[in-house]
């Protein structure tokens, strides 16, 4: 039984159905606050799996975990004036506690900078503490968003952030490259979510920073950013007094970077990019259940089949697989649907024939083809299919991302692409400094799309004219609608 | 270099110094909100280690993870009237968001019940979903406390909670026993923190529940509760409409229990019970660094010593140990102090003599005795010392807990014990139902101590008279001051 809504016809309804209890049951939106979802066991387990991968990546590169409170004193946000301008409109305020008005009101962190940097100012003293790399994960942040959607935009949502301080700008810029590599290693290589890494135009950078970079995936023709990384230069160090004494006994402001892998956006990518009309399709490594064993029973229950299933379950568990023997009273067909919906990578069917012939029937979630194998080949086949599944969904996603990028030489071209093919428009642009912002405003107004940025790490040569103002183009930019 | 404050002389200052940057650097209280601490890498790693153990325990017994928002709509707290009475005075309120007053104000969860049960009311439908066991971990809760202290009492603190629903009261009561076993398996067996498990008197139970049980450790003569578990009966099910259809198609209210391992209180136990005048003493299994290698260098740097240290570090890392080769410019003595302060279980010293003779000098943190071993025995010795350390600190803590319990037959006895020996007083008591509350109020007023409860699982026969009112004693209770 497939989902009622079809991915290719009405993506938005398909997504909502798949997320809900009627689908793969990832989140419940019936909690009494808009944009504050309850995450179910299935979602928590998936998220923890890739969160652990990200933690491993950043720790291997010298980041240490820390944990800050959720609440922040009002005074902290006021130190950096661009930052306060950017975030103040979205803040939630705690104004009462213990039955009375608080002396100083507190906000719920919208992101960590304003709460973390006052402590960095205390902690960081000397060049020999640098680079200073810390992260916090499995935390919540809060933003008063007008429109919300599970795993795409929330008023409270799961967060992960690295905050690094360096002695020089050069080192900070190298960190940006490493931030991209962490994202590549986890999102692309392990989860099959390829992305474009772009440098944002100046008018769209993080409030208070010098430069922002984003990892862009495409979900249903719109950009879904799965990681953001920021070069803060010395801006925040100056605002928050993050000062170290260098080797020549001279006081210097630190150079800072921030990485924020988008935990919820990665989930949105897994759902929206790999999912199909039968439900989720999960990479083997992160699936809460990797292998489901389903008994095929005709007429009356077969003790042989049950015994074989139990034995298989035991063996596979001992090998470290996350395996489930579904011996519930539901029909086999009902079980197929349920576990397909949840994206379980491999299904093993065991019926009287399989028992008799020492064979097993394997079905891989992405291709849904049956394969009859010898029982003795099971280990090898599991590994093969786990790899093949990841390769297959990765390749499909890579092709989709590649195909979603289309060339435009004029605004009319760009608009047509955005309205028909959708996805990303590659186009010549006047300037990605603030003087290009007027053109961006016009683009937003006339096509509801944004300049996502220029390609990172590879300066593309521009030719022709800016599609908005007609001035000679200095940059090749990527334009898209976004979530 | 030992801590300036001595544990046996001025525990409170000793504790504060050990927690601070000048000690083992576990938490920073210089964040701008009272009772909201910043947890350092060392503390986060320790806490995550035992949190993972707790997660494993509860998952092995069928609990699935879930994640709720931090914010809760006002309407949710009002459903259970005892619960609201108990928690309302401590609530923090979010009243503004997006630059304006919120239509419905929200509170920051002080504990999960009031936010979770409205969803349980939606989710739970049928007997075949029971027992329904869920938990959330690595979350924050918020309470407006007047006095605060790192890891003992915070306005925001780390939380872990299991919320279970059963078809019968009998099953729910069995869960209470299992809750104790999880605590025993982790706190006592793995962390060396023995505890008394008691049933609280009625006047001191969880607001809205039927019965509360607590796992009591003794830190500096006062009770530090490291886990609480509650029998809710059907009280919350009735207030929140948690109803299932039983096998006879009849609607029934669920029977509920809750377990809250005290994440911060376990940390306070590790610090306060195992710590000494040289710093923390950590069990091997949870130490962020299990083995530190320190080169002993005379006059000029020795390439041989450095090479040997690096080789050891590599080998031990490959074996899966968390190992640190401290090749900083500090003196060996300084390094000893630093890693002792942080509680690293095993120190390996490598000097020219060790290199020449293929020997190593081992020092175990708890006993601080040097042992010269053959290099080939290292693996065996590490295992031996890891075990011996845990056994030693466990035994020490068990003896301390046992010795801290003293008998009283009269209030005068009890008062004297509480003022001199301190710890726990075992005494006869009139009633642990509400009619014993008057005596408890008097005890609180005259001796600043509380009835912690009766021993769980073993009804102790009372003799003599209640130490407060002189009526015939029905119970043996345990009385103590607490954090």
The model's confidence at residue B75, banded by pLDDT at 50, 70 and 90, is very high
Inter-CA distances, A31 with A26, A150, B122, Å: 14, 12, 10
Q: Report the run of H or E that residue B196 belongs to, with start and end.
A: strand B196-199
Q: Do A97 and B93 touch (CB under 8 A)?
A: yes
For B460-479, how does the pLDDT look when each residue is reduced to its tens digit (9 = 90+)? 999 999 999 999 999 999 99
Chain B residues lying within 8 Å of A44, measured CB to CB: 65-67
Instruction: Please check the confidence at residue B68 and state whether its pLDDT lies above 90.
Output: yes
Is A352 touching B (CB cutoff 8 A)? no
CB contact under 8 A, A95 and B98: no
Domain(s) labelled CATH 3.30.930.10 in chain A stretch across: 11-274
* B77 and chain A in contact, CB less than 8 A: no
At B234, the pLDDT band (50, 70, 90 cuts) reads: very high
The answer to whether residue A96 scores a pLDDT higher than 80 is yes
Where does B27-71+111-274 sit in CATH, by number?
3.30.930.10
From-to residues of CATH 3.30.110.30 in chain A: 407-480
Rounded-to-10 torsion of CA A378, A380, A384, A387? 110
Closest-approach residue (CA) in chain A for B40: A66
Do A44 and B65 count as a contact with CB atoms less than 8 A apart?
Answer: yes
Closest C-alpha to B69, from B114, B103, B123, B109? B109
CA-to-CA distance for B399 and B395, rounded, in angstroms? Answer: 6
| pLDDT value, residue A104 | 95
Phi, psi of A429, rounded to the nearest 5 degrees: -145, 145
Residues of B whose CB is below 8 A from A88: 99
CB contact under 8 A, B66 and A38: yes
Average pLDDT, integer, range A252-266:
98
Residue B84 confidence (pLDDT): 85
The C-alpha of A317 sits at a distance from chain B's nearest C-alpha, in angstroms, of 13
- pLDDT-derived band at B81 (thresholds 50, 70, 90) equals confident
pLDDT tens figures, A2-16: 999 999 999 999 999
**C-alpha span between B393 and B397 (Å, rounded):** 6
Q: Measured between CB atoms, does B114 come within 8 Å of chain A?
A: no
ipTM value, please give it: 0.96
Interchain pair A66, B76: CB under 8 A? no
Which candidate from B94, B99, B156 shows the least CB-CB separation from A69? Answer: B156
| CB of A62 less than 8 A from some CB of B | no
pLDDT at B457 > cutoff 90: no
According to CATH, the topology of domain B289-385 is: Rossmann fold (3.40.50)
Tell me the pLDDT tens digit for each residue of B184-226: 999 999 999 999 999 999 999 998 999 999 999 999 999 999 9
Q: Which residues does residue A140 pair with via DSSP β-bridges, in sequence order?
A: A158
Residues in chain A closer than 8 A to B138 (CB atoms): 138
Compare CB distances from B76 to A30, A32, A41 and report the shortest one's residue: A32
Relative to beta strand A64-65, strand A132-142 is parallel
Q: Report the residue from B76, B91, B119 with minimal CB separation from A38.
A: B119
Per-residue confidence (pLDDT) for residue B300, from 0 to 100 = 64
Task: For chains A and B, count residue pairs whose Cβ atoms are closer than 8 Å.
Answer: 152
B372-394 tens-digit pLDDT:
999 999 999 999 999 999 999 99
Contact list, A91 vs chain B (CB under 8 Å)? 97
Structure confidence at residue B299 (pLDDT): 66
Give chain A positions within 8 Å (CB) of B98.
Answer: 89-90, 144, 146
Q: Which residues of B touch A140 (CB under 8 A)?
A: 69-70, 140
A457 with A197: CB under 8 angstroms?
Answer: yes
Average pLDDT of chain B is 96
CA distance linking residue B397 with residue B403, whole number of Å:
10
* pLDDT for residue A84: 85
Please state which architecture CATH assigns to domain B405-480: 2-Layer Sandwich (3.30)
pTM of the model: 0.97
pLDDT value, residue A78: 86
Least confident interval from A100-109, A119-128, A291-300, B252-261: A291-300
Find the helix or strand (DSSP H, E) in which A341 lies: helix A332-341
Q: Is B457 on the interface with A (CB under 8 A)?
A: no
Chain A CB contacts of B31 under 8 Å are: 68-69, 115, 118-119
Contact of A402 with A394, CB cutoff 8 Å: no
A397 touches A192 (CB < 8 A): yes
CATH of range A11-274; options 3.40.50.300, 3.75.10.10, 3.30.930.10, 3.30.70.60: 3.30.930.10
What backbone torsions phi and psi does residue B210 show, to the nearest 5 degrees?
-100, -45
**In which band, very low, low, confident or very high, does the pLDDT at A415 lie, cut at 50, 70 and 90?**
very high
Cβ-Cβ contacts under 8 Å, A133 against chain B: none
User: How many other CB atoms sit within 10 Å of the CB of residue A391?
Assistant: 12
pLDDT digits (tens, 9 = 90+) for B127-156: 999 999 999 999 999 999 999 999 999 999
**CB A94 to CB B91 under 8 A?**
no
Q: Is B26 on the interface with A (CB under 8 A)?
A: no
Chain A partners of B56 at a C-beta cutoff of 8 Å? none
Contact call for B97 and A144, based on CB within 8 A: yes
Give me A274's structure tokens: 């790999």
Q: Give the residue carrying structure tokens 């035994």.
A: B395
Rounded to the nearest integer, the mean pLDDT of chain A is 96
Check residue B28 and give its pLDDT: 98
Superfamily of domain A407-480: C-terminal domain of ProRS (3.30.110.30)
Spatial contact of B425 and B478, defined as CB atoms under 8 Å apart = yes
B chain contacts of residue A51, beta-carbon cutoff 8 Å: none
Confidence of residue A299 (pLDDT cuts 50, 70, 90): low
Domain with CATH 3.30.110.30 in chain B: 405-480
Of the candidates A40, A41, A90, the beta carbon closest to that of B98 is on A90
A383 reaches B (C-beta below 8 A): no
CATH 3.40.50.800 range(s) for chain A read 289-385
Residues A265, A233 contacting (CB under 8 angstroms): no
CB spacing of A36 vs B71 below 8 angstroms: yes
pLDDT band at B289 (very low <50, low <70, confident <90, very high): very high
Contact B122/A at CB under 8 A:
yes
Alpha-carbon span A35 to A160, nearest angstrom:
18
Whether residue A1 has pLDDT greater than 80 = no
What are the φ/ψ torsions at residue A134 (nearest 5 degrees)? -135, 155
Other residues' Cβ atoms within 10 Å of the Cβ of residue B191: 27
Residue ranges matching CATH 3.30.930.10 in chain B: 27-71+111-274
Q: Give the pLDDT confidence of B330-360 residue by residue, as tens digits.
A: 999 999 999 999 999 999 999 999 999 999 9
If you search the block for the tokens 């049928």, which residue do you land on? B126
Give the β-pairing of B255-261 and B156-166.
Answer: antiparallel
List the single residue in A with minimal CA-CA distance to B96.
A93
Interface test with A, best of B98, B120, B326 (most A CBs within 10 A): B98
Task: Answer whether residue A85 shows pLDDT above 90.
Answer: no
B134/A contact by beta carbon, under 8 A: yes
pLDDT at A301: 64
Neighbours of B471 (CB within 10 A): 15
Q: Which of residues 157-196 of B touch A (CB under 8 A)?
A: 158
Q: Which two tokens stand for residue A402?
A: 């590649």
pLDDT higher than threshold 70 for residue A300 = no
State how far the Cα of A281 lies from the Cα of A293, in Å rounded to an integer: 17
**What are the pLDDT digits (tens) for B292-343?**
999 998 766 678 999 999 999 999 999 999 999 999 999 999 999 999 999 9
């Amino acid at each position: 039984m497939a989902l009622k809504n079809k991915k290719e016809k009405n993506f938005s309804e398909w997504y909502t159905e798949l997320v809900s209890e009627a689908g793969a049951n990832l989140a419940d939106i019936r909690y009494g606050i808009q944009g504050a979802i309850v995450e179910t066991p299935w979602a928590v387990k998936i998220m923890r799996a890739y969160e652990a991968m990200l933690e491993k990546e950043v720790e291997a590169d010298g980041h240490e975990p820390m944990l800050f409170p959720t609440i922040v004193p009002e005074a902290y946000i006021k130190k950096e004036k661009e930052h306060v301008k950017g975030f103040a409109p979205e803040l939630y305020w705690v104004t009462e506690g213990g039955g009375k008005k608080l002396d100083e009101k507190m906000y719920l962190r919208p992101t960590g900078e304003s709460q973390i940097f006052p402590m960095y100012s205390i902690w960081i003293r000397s060049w020999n503490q640098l680079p200073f790399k810390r992260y916090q994960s499995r935390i919540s942040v809060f933003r008063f968003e007008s429109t919300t959607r599970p795993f795409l935009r929330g008023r409270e949502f799961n967060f992960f952030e690295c905050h690094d301080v360096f002695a020089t700008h050069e080192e900070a810029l190298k960190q940006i490259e490493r931030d991209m590599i962490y994202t590549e290693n986890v999102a692309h290589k392990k989860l099959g979510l390829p992305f474009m890494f772009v440098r944002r135009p100046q008018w769209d950078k993080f409030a208070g920073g010098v430069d922002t970079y984003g990892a862009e995936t495409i979900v249903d023709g719109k950009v879904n950013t799965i990681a953001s990384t920021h070069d803060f230069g010395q801006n925040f160090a100056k605002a928050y007094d993050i000062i170290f004494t260098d080797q020549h006994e001279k006081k210097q402001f630190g150079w800072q970077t921030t990485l924020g892998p988008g935990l919820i956006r990665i989930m949105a990518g897994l759902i929206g990019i790999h999912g199909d009309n039968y439900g989720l399709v999960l990479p083997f490594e992160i699936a809460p259940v990797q292998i489901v064993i389903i008994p095929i029973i005709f007429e009356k229950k077969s003790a042989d089949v049950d015994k074989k299933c139990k034995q298989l379950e035991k063996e596979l568990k001992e090998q470290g697989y996350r395996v489930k023997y579904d011996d519930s009273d539901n029909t086999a067909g009902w079980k197929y649907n349920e576990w397909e919906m949840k994206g379980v990578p491999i299904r093993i069917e065991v019926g009287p024939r399989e028992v008799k012939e020492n064979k097993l029937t394997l079905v891989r979630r992405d291709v849904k083809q049956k394969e009859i194998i010898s029982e003795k080949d099971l280990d090898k086949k599991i590994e093969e299919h786990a790899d093949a599944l990841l390769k297959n969904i990765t390749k499909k996603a890579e092709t989709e991302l590649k195909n979603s990028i289309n060339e435009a030489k004029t605004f009319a071209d760009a608009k047509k692409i955005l309205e028909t093919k959708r996805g990303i428009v590659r186009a010549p642009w006047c300037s990605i400094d603030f003087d290009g912002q007027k053109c961006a405003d016009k683009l937003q107004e006339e096509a509801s799309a944004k300049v996502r940025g220029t390609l990172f790490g590879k300066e593309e040569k521009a030719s022709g004219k800016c599609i908005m103002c007609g001035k000679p183009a200095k940059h090749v930019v990527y334009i898209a609608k976004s979530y």
